[in-house]
Structure 1
Amino acid sequence: MTLYPWLEPLWKQWQLMLSQQSIPHAMLCSANVGTGIEELVNRLAAAVVCKNSDDEACGFCHSCDLSKGGHHPDIHWVMPEKPGKGINVEQVREANRYAMESSQLGGKRIIIIQPAEAMNESASNALLKTLETPPDQCVFILLTQDKHKLLPTIISRCQHWQLPKVSRAVLLDWLNGQNARQVTVDWFILKMYGQSPLDALSFIKQEKQKEWEQLLTILLSGVQSRSFSLFEVQSFFKVDPIEKVTWLLYLFNDLQKAHFGVCEGPFPHLFEQLLGCTSYESAYSHYQHLQKMLHSLQSSSGLNAELLIVDWYLTLVQAPSNN
């Protein structure tokens, strides 16, 4: 299976590591959501447990058949039990027990933890004890979006790999080759997903540019004329609220940059209008607010996202002046 183009450079480095039989006992790989990094890790795991090849799974042996079907007994994934939940200590203890067992097919065991930053403190400490005295013939692979959220002691016991940045040219070339539609979305908008190509493709396929423009219209109606429909605001943020808070973060970050002349243009007309009635101080303040909100929503699944966002919107439109 052909890899996504932005994954190929890292895969070539991993192939060299495989051919030299220098796989470490613990690897930490930093990559954004929407890059397909899971596909690359599956490819690495399949190559490690393959019986016939050094730097690439042969695709024909019994071990490869099991890997392709997602049923290899020596490849174990540790992930949150539910979206938005953390990885608890019992999950890590189970992985530790698995790490101490003998391989069922006589090779290495692979334990993949994703996202590693979802481990709570007890889970992190349980993993650390195993990494301090790593079992023979066992490889831990930790996938993370933000390694700084991990214990420094865990980081220090892993070989760190960073997925290289996706260039604009590579992203647009790949998107144009997907036959979903030619890329007609303005780069000013699409750059939100510049390091998450699969999410960029989803944005295009689902025609979310219309929703992005609706968001700008909602903001403008509030800050320009103080005229808005609370029902419209509530309805808009009811669907995919976390993604839309991310849009807001990018938007208010761009507003700050534009005030200093460092935001890449040309600007869409709606953005120019919003820029004209939003001061740098206001953009900065709301950006800080939205950052804290996004962190809360991502770390606490029980929060009412719609209510929090609407409350924020009311602070935006009720402010004495935004410019």
Structure 2
Amino acid sequence: MALQPWLQETAQHWLSAIEEETIGHSLILHSEVELGAEAMIELWAGSLLCPHPGHACGFCHSCQLLDSGNHPDYHHIQPDKPGGNITVDQIRQGLKQAQESSQLGGNRVFVITPAEQMNTAAANALLKTLEEPSQSSFFLLVCQSPKRLLATIRSRCQLWSLPCPSPSQALEWLAEQGHKDVPAYVMTLAQGSPMAAKQWLDDKQFAEFEIGQSLLVNTMTRSDSDPIDAVSWLEKNPQRHGQWWWFLLSDAQKVRFGQVGDFDEISRRLAHCDYDVLYRQSQALARLLSQLQAQPGLNTSLLFYNWLIETREHLCL
């Protein structure tokens, strides 16, 4: 898997540490958004499992096994289902394998992702091994929020954070992927992730985003508009569409203070609203989205409807 340009410097530091044997046996790989963590995991695992020094050669038996997904000394621990926890039994099974001899006579590597999804029992079980790791076992904890890990686990791991690309790097990479003349706001919606931006563009979400902008303006600026249309649109993809609205409300706050916005037309139409209302309702929307993510069984329609009515009462022009 090819490394993205913004990862090259971090990758070189990583390879140097592996070659000089200063790399820790326990690492945290921190990536707040999708920045290419999979390529870094592959680089780390391949370099530690390949019997040749430095970068994985890509040709030996070990590298071929890793490429095919059949390497006996590569172990990936993750939740059994999306959004679930990593259980203590999963960690114990991995730790049992860590105590066994390498089947190829080299290192054994363990990738735990997303590491913050370990339940308390699993985290405590892992901690005991991190305190006294075996010489040939290496652990990589991949997470978006290291603060959600036990402080004692963080203290025993080297922390590596993936850098965000500069705007020019991101747009250049997108152009190489076939997406030229990309509006700057796409990177804002993708939270700085070129991969998420590419997916956004591949899925042709421009039209859907424009619908969302129109619904927000109509709902918030016309007292006779029907909020049900906006609720139906938000329900189609609560996290994505709700986050789009959060960005639009936040952008209006910037324009309210004379800054340049990413979404000029709609931000100007909302910018003369009371700043406190814009801020308060954008924060309320963020809390609502977090609530829906943590508790999927909630009545999404009712929550969005209540938020819309409250927001319009304070914001409607």
TM-score over 0.5 for the alignment?
Answer: yes
Partner of 1:84: 83
SS at match of 1:57: coil
Q: Aligned partner of 1:20: which letter?
A: E
Structure 1 stretch displaced more, 237-246 or 28-37: 237-246
Q: Distance in 2 between matches of 1:101 and 1:308?
A: 51
Distance 1:89-1:287 versus aligned 2 partners, 3 A rule: farther
**How far off is 1:163 after superposition?**
0.9
Partner of 1:253: 250
**How far off is 1:173 after superposition?**
0.4
Q: TM-score, length-normalised on structure 2?
A: 0.92
Partner of 1:308: 303
Partner of 1:131: 130
Q: What is the correspondence of 1:8-87 to structure 2 with a 5 Å cutoff?
A: 8-51=8-51, 53-87=52-86
Q: Distance in 2 between matches of 1:90 and 1:257?
A: 48
The answer to whether the 8 Å contact 2:251/2:267 transfers is no
**How far off is 1:33 after superposition?**
3.4
Q: Distance in 2 between matches of 1:55 and 1:119?
A: 32
Provide the identity percentage.
35
**How far off is 1:11 after superposition?**
0.7
Partner of 2:198: 201
Distance 1:158-1:59 versus aligned 2 partners, 3 A rule: same
The answer to whether the 8 Å contact 1:88/1:120 transfers is yes
Partner of 1:143: 142
Matched, 1:219 2:186: no
**How far off is 1:281 after superposition?**
0.9
Q: Aligned partner of 1:79: which letter?
A: Q
**How far off is 1:213 after superposition?**
1.9
Q: Which runs of 5+ in 1 are unaligned?
A: none
The answer to whether the 8 Å contact 1:113/1:143 transfers is yes
Q: Aligned partner of 1:84: which letter?
A: G
Distance 1:102-1:306 versus aligned 2 partners, 3 A rule: farther
SS at match of 2:71: coil
The answer to whether the 8 Å contact 1:29/1:141 transfers is yes
**How far off is 1:45 after superposition?**
0.1
CA RMSD of aligned residues (A): 2.0
Q: What is the correspondence of 1:229-248 to structure 2 with a 5 Å cutoff?
A: 229-248=226-245
Q: What is the correspondence of 1:107-118 to structure 2 with a 5 Å cutoff?
A: 107-118=106-117
The answer to whether the 8 Å contact 1:175/1:183 transfers is no
Q: How many residues align?
A: 317
SS at match of 1:215: helix
SS at match of 2:33: coil
The answer to whether the 8 Å contact 1:168/1:194 transfers is no
Q: Distance in 1 between matches of 2:80 and 2:225?
A: 40
Distance 1:300-1:105 versus aligned 2 partners, 3 A rule: farther
Q: Which runs of 5+ in 2 are unaligned?
A: none
Distance 1:305-1:100 versus aligned 2 partners, 3 A rule: farther
Q: Distance in 2 between matches of 1:320 and 1:265?
A: 22
Matched, 1:271 2:267: yes
The answer to whether the 8 Å contact 2:6/2:169 transfers is yes
Deviations 1:254-278 (A, max 9, x none): 222222334x3364312221223x3
Q: TM-score, length-normalised on structure 1?
A: 0.90
Partner of 1:284: 279
Distance 1:309-1:79 versus aligned 2 partners, 3 A rule: farther
Distance 1:92-1:294 versus aligned 2 partners, 3 A rule: farther
Deviations 1:222-241 (A, max 9, x none): 11112334442243123332
